[in-house]
Amino acid sequence: MTSHQRSVALTWVARGLPVVPCSRTDKGALVPGFGRDAPPEQLAPFSDPEQVRAWWSGRFKRAHVGLLTGRGADGRGLVVVDLDMPKDGTRPLEGRWSGCHGGTDVLELLAREAGAAWPETYCTLTPSGGMHLYFQQPAEGPLIGCATGEGPTAPHIGPLVDVRGVGGYVIAAGSYSPAQGRRYERVSAPDVLPQELPEWLLKLLRPAAAAAPAPRPAPVRALPTASRPDRYAAAALNGATEDVASAAEGERNRRLFAAARRLGELHTTAPAVLDETTVREQLLVAALRSGQSEREALRTIRSGWERGLAGHGAGAA
């Protein structure tokens, strides 16, 4: 097991791709320091053959081989599209995704909608029955980041489809854990390497319109017959989104947190207007328009909302 895992790790490093030891039980990374904003000097150990050899010869000798996505030795690296299988007890997908039983079905549907064929590239099967499709990061423009499942903005592309790019990792082909009973197995032909992202998939992962200003949140309107609290809540939400969207650099995060907190405090007065999903979606669009990143904005909204709910319960005005 030790020599096998070490061989897998060193093989990937020789291909110019960094690796990280990962738990054989929960797949969690066992060495930190490869996050989205990590500088090159911090990432260097993950591509150093001597460091990698030491990891899989000593403390992490039986660890899974995690393959870092995003940036490789050539400056490009990988983006991996992870097609999951639904967990037991999961409700069937509905609406646009009705009839899709797993991530492969979702990607097939997206390909058909684009009038394209299934992408041929380096591919592995996972112990759970899922599939990893490996692609090269785009040669031009921003690199692709990470996303989990369906979401409002790229690189989210659909349910049961995860994307692993800058700051992420996947378990490499050749890794094996007795606890799972199967290895991560390469199923593409031996001469097939990670390919360029097909244009239709790149557009989904990084829309051409991403550089344009985000649209303004659609105003929330209360019917004339609505109660006074509902009308007040709608006005408060619209005012909050305008305030967040117009925030200057240095004020954006503070205004977003304050808006989410205030709306959380008002939630119980008009729950039909200020439900969590509506507030999150409206504030996120406003935050993106002001120039904030999706990840940071969602974190701030959640924190402010929860603070507002707690504050209301404690007697906040």
User: Which among 67, 58, 55, 63 is positioned nearest to 1, based on CA atoms?
Assistant: 63
Q: Rounded CA gap, 91 and 270, in Å?
A: 30
Q: Where are the domains of the chain?
A: 2-209, 228-313
Token pair in block for residue 143: 């690199």
pLDDT recorded at residue 211: 43
Whether residue 13 contacts residue 47, with contact meaning beta carbons closer than 8 Å, is answered with yes
Token pair, residue 263, equals 């709306």
- Spatial separation of the C-alpha atoms in residues 165 and 186, rounded to whole Å: 20
Phi/psi of residue 183, each to 5°?
-95, 165
Cβ–Cβ under 8 Å, residues 285 and 256: no
Asked if residue 272 lies in contact with residue 235, where contact means CB atoms within 8 angstroms, the answer is: no
The residues, any chain, with a CB within 8 Å of residue 15's CB and separated by 6 or more, are: none
Query: How far is Cα 312 from Cα 18, in angstroms, rounded to an integer?
Result: 48
**Structure confidence at residue 244 (pLDDT):** 92
Q: What is the mean pLDDT of each run of 10 residues along the chain (317 residues)?
A: 85 92 91 87 93 94 92 79 91 92 96 95 92 94 90 91 95 76 87 94 77 57 69 90 86 91 92 91 90 87 92 46
If DSSP codes are grouped into helix, strand and coil, which group holds residue 142? coil
Q: Is the pTM of this model over 0.75?
A: no
**CA separation for the pair 64, 1 (Å, rounded):** 10
Residue 103 is predicted with a pLDDT of 96
Amino acid 13: pLDDT: 92
Q: How high is the pLDDT of residue 293?
A: 84
CB within 8 Å of 18: residues ≥ 6 apart: 34, 43, 46, 47, 67, 68, 71, 72, 73
Are 257 and 303 in contact by the 8 Å Cβ rule? The answer is: yes
- Grouping H, G, I as helix, E, B as strand and the rest as coil, residue 10 is helix
What are the CA-CA distances from residue 259 to residues 72, 272, 282 (Å)? 40, 18, 11
pLDDT tens for residues 233-250?
989 999 999 999 988 877
Partners of 183 in the beta sheet?
Answer: 176
Query: Following DSSP, what letter does each residue of 167-229 receive, concatenated?
Result: T-EEEPTT-B-TTTSSB-EE-S-TT--PEEPPHHHHHHHS-GGGGSPPPPPPPP---TTS-HH
The pLDDT of residue 292 is 85
